[in-house]
Amino acid sequence: MRSVAFATCSALPDGWHDDHLAGRLLGAVHHAWDDPTVDWSVFDRVVIRSAWDYTPRVDEFLAWSAAVGADRLRNTPELVAFNADKRYLADLSVPTVPTVFVGPSDPAPELDGEVVVKPNISAGARDTGRFGPPAHGQAHELIAAIHATGRVALVQPYMSAVERRGETALVFLAGELSHVLRKRAILAPDEVAPLADGPHASAAAMLREDLVTPGLADPAERALANRVIEEISGRFGTPLYARVDLVTDSRGSPLLLELEAIEPELYLATSPGASQRMAAAVRAS
């Protein structure tokens, strides 16, 4: 392979710190995905890494992805388009967190118990909130705010097991499990997650140093994550990278919370050898 570019955003011209070792191993250069002066055709591989700003401009981002092309872009434009809209949860055959999709023209949903509200197009827990019954009015306000931007609101039950054991995130590189993470709960009761300052504009809790630690996945979690990867590989080809985020229900059974195939944060630094595995996966893709 002759040349590799890591697609970043203009606020992070040198890319995200977690990608630096893999980038050095590949001799990769960093370019903002929306830089009009870049000729992406000169690169053998263009790897989407720290494009933190794509969600407010998703149509532009998807057009850029398509223009770079399936021969060059990783993950491929087809998988990127699928993963950019969280309504993919309804399009997968695996067990997922129960989700009601509420469009701008739909009636206000009935809310029951503690719920999570988030947009169909978002990253870093932006515009995401957790609300108990006394705060259902706030949940409806967030739904209305999401609708005002033209997006669809997702309404899900709050999976309380996350308070005890967090999320399990399984990171796959070239279709093989690379490392497993334990992610702490990030949503406080009865509020929209406050945003951090800075170029990524993610929820402040997402940037906590203790958010993620190396973890283990039990056999049921591994089996579900493998099913997710097998399903998307069958539809879009094996992804260069994907993070499968799982939570458990009240019976301890794993459910897919989100599939991340655009996500800038793979937490490569948490696992010895992960950056090397990422570099090898790019070379082989």
What is residue 263's predicted lDDT score, i.e. its pLDDT?
A: 86
Find how far residue 92's CA is from the centre of its chain.
16
Considering only CA atoms, which of 119, 46, 47, 35 is closest in space to residue 84? 119
Q: Give me the average pLDDT of each 10-residue run along the chain (285 residues).
A: 91 94 98 98 97 94 98 98 98 98 95 97 87 97 96 97 93 98 90 71 68 94 98 98 96 96 93 97 95
User: Hey, what are 249's tokens?
Assistant: 């229900």
21 sits in the region (left: phi over 0; alpha: psi -120 to 50; else beta) called alpha
What is residue 198's predicted lDDT score, i.e. its pLDDT?
A: 62
Is the pTM higher than 0.75? The answer reads yes
Considering only CA atoms, which of 184, 156, 188 is closest in space to residue 267? 184
What is residue 38's predicted lDDT score, i.e. its pLDDT?
A: 98
| DSSP summary character for residue 96 | B
